[in-house]
Structure 1
Amino acid sequence: MESYTSLSSWITALEAILKERNVSYPEVLAEANIDIDLLRNPYGRIEVSIIDRAWKVALAHTGDKNLGITSAHLCQPVHWHALGLAMLCSASISEAIARLVQFREILTNVVTLNMVRDEQSVCLHMKTKIPIEDVGLEVVDFGFAGLLTLCRSIFPDDVKPSRVCLQRPDPESPDAFEDFYGCPVHFGGEQHELEFPLAVADRVLDYSDPQLAARQDDLAQDYIQRIVQSSAILKTQDAIKELLPQGEPCQQLIAERLCLSPRQLQRQLQKEGSNFTALLRDVRMELAKQYLQQQYRPITEVALLLGFADHSNFTRAFKSWFDCTPTEFREGL
């Protein structure tokens, strides 16, 4: 079963939203049982169910049943990672939407996106892979409307779509949606649709920067390859390397770092023909050789960097790996 995740920024965006409403962001995270340290990584990804939980707690604290749409003006390019900056550098709204479709994996893997063009308009289609209520109505409202916020920041003039259709059920107060989009909004559709007339979508900006946009495209593609599409083995190895200097990490801690349960992590590693114990050993072996080649590092420091409690434990492990002590290995370099 596929694990659906999104950028952690869909939670951190709540900080500005709650501040505008005089609600404590740390209190909301605590009530949602979310460790704020997990959100400090700009490359971090969070399961959509956890993001939905955070937004539901925020909704309860604010009492705003239209929290997603009434907060959409606070959506920032940084919430979209490198993709947001690439869109800002685009020459037109249609080009920005094309980039969104191309690099959609950055934002989330829980939706499908495509752009449809005809003789009169350009339309973005979005559909959730699971029931939209399971993704979270509020965060979907915020993300989809946030696209229009980005488009409006690209153009100096007010940008209004010609048609908006939303997959969500009818809200209690539809006026908030029509006020934001500036056009009639239809609810209960099979998918989200955001349509612009060609005169708006293809209008070329004089100050667009193709070179800067291309650079952001490279960063976006790099993010997808390293973070979104990387294997469970690579993700686990990266997490082990990051946490080793704090002591030997257990599988529970690594799984939490990757926003998985220990059982989910175990299944993913088994699917790729590995296991946590073997990866921990392999990472330590690799780093041990690297650190010992750095002659300025005392062996005691190397032991601590590899998560060992003391020099003797490291020496015993190293000898079992390479049939020599760390000192003998270093002398033979």
Structure 2
Amino acid sequence: MSRIGLLADAMNSSLKYSTLAAWPLAICRALEAHGYDPASLLTDCDLDREALVQNPDGRVDIRLMTRFWDQVRQQTRDEAFGLKVADYALPLHFRALGLLMHTADSLEDALLKIGRYAAMVSNSVTIRVEQTPASLAFCIDPIAGVPISTMAIDSFFATLMRFASQLGARSPLVAQVELLRPRPTEPASWERYFEAPVIFSASQNALWFRRGQLKHGLLMGDERMAAYNESVVQAYVAGLDAATFGQQVKRLLLAQLEAGEPAIGSVASQLNLTERSLRRRLREEGLSYRELLQQSRMEMAEYYLRHTTLSVTDIALRSGFADASNFARAFTRWFSQSPTEFRKTQLPH
């Protein structure tokens, strides 16, 4: 084991990355509605439907969830089935987070709450909410080494749009959709569902809402109930992610490094902290942002060298280095081996 450990092992240990039981249950309802029996798929993935029903606040290991999605794709032979699942997911299935949406002041505020507490739904990706004067975007950043089905991304975006429509948003609601997934054989399914342009093989996963259409809604706007529901959600998320601040920062860095080096202010905002507070919290743990950034770069590089055939130059760029030479020098200082030498030691003998 290396100085910082194998990224894949760190990412996938125990139930660190999981999703709410509502998701596999919604998939089961969708399968049955379209004439499929989910029982054998659940068994193949070591999932117990009755146990999920009895514990709706429970969690499902993301590895099992991704395997379940893969089984769904094989059985239905429908690469757009994730969009259909959204028709069987309701806000109340997401427990206190769904109630928090209903009691928010506005539809836009409700969507922002989902972004803030998205870890309750799934902590196996990171969620960014981008805002412009005309648009509000949900951006899903995968975490290196954590298996996520493209159908899960489709389903989450479709569910967000459906929730907004159910709560009174007006059409046309979506301005554009960006998906990392390659262009499917029948892209029209996505364009019909979102009623908007869909860009495949994009640089990010992003669902762009038209802010003007979010001014309408049928929400309760109950301040007292909203405060109570938010406290329940906060307690749930806190219990789910009892990681140190250093670990939380590294998770965000690993998810976003490929798109460019995240500024500390952006990371602090995603943790609902000021930059000053985040620096103080890290100091209390004997860490610094620059140190975590370097560790994250090295973890990502180590993962790609061990588990992919990407060139050293590609790995350098994905890990946030300007070129292969700077990457090789930094890697050699860290591991006492060049990237090429390191990769050779991982080959089977």
TM-score for the superposition, normalised by structure 1: 0.63
- Residue 220 of structure 1 pairs with residue 233 of structure 2: yes
Structure 2 matches for 1:2-81, cutoff 5 A?
A: 2=11, 3-39=16-52, 40-81=54-95
Distance, in Å, in 1 between the alignment partners of 2:110 and 2:172 is 14
Aligned residue for 1:201?
Answer: 214
Structure 1 residue 156: Cα displacement: 6.1
Q: Which amino acid aligns with 1:170?
A: R
- Residue 171 of structure 1 pairs with residue 184 of structure 2: yes
Q: What are structure 1's unaligned runs of at least 5 residues?
A: 232-333
Which of residues 75, 89, 94 in structure 1 aligns to 2:103? 89
Aligned residue for 1:211?
Answer: 224
Provide the secondary structure at the position in 1 that maps to 2:130: strand
- Residue 115 of structure 1 pairs with residue 129 of structure 2: yes
Structure 2 matches for 1:299-314, cutoff 5 A?
A: none
* 1:82–1:174 distance in 2 versus 1, CA, 3 Å: same
Matched-pair contact (CA < 8 Å) for 1:125–1:194: yes
Q: Which amino acid aligns with 2:121?
A: L
Structure 1 residue 66: Cα displacement: 1.2
Provide the secondary structure at the position in 1 that maps to 2:174: coil
Distance, in Å, in 2 between the alignment partners of 1:108 and 1:215 is 22
Matched-pair contact (CA < 8 Å) for 2:175–2:196: yes
Structure 1 residue 101: Cα displacement: 2.0
Distance, in Å, in 2 between the alignment partners of 1:165 and 1:137 is 12
Aligned residue for 1:319?
Answer: none
Q: Which amino acid aligns with 1:214?
A: A
Structure 1 residue 207: Cα displacement: 4.5
* 1:184–1:131 distance in 2 versus 1, CA, 3 Å: farther
Distance, in Å, in 2 between the alignment partners of 1:119 and 1:18 is 39
Provide the secondary structure at the position in 2 that maps to 1:13: helix
Bigger radius of gyration among the two: 1
Structure 1 residue 131: Cα displacement: 6.6
Matched-pair contact (CA < 8 Å) for 1:165–1:186: yes
Structure 2 matches for 1:291-330, cutoff 5 A?
A: none
Distance, in Å, in 2 between the alignment partners of 1:158 and 1:123 is 16
Distance, in Å, in 2 between the alignment partners of 1:131 and 1:140 is 16
TM-score for the superposition, normalised by structure 2: 0.60
Aligned residues, how many?
230
Identity across the alignment (%): 23
Q: What are structure 2's unaligned runs of at least 5 residues?
A: 1-9, 245-349
Distance, in Å, in 2 between the alignment partners of 1:44 and 1:197 is 34
* 1:65–1:119 distance in 2 versus 1, CA, 3 Å: closer
* 1:137–1:16 distance in 2 versus 1, CA, 3 Å: same
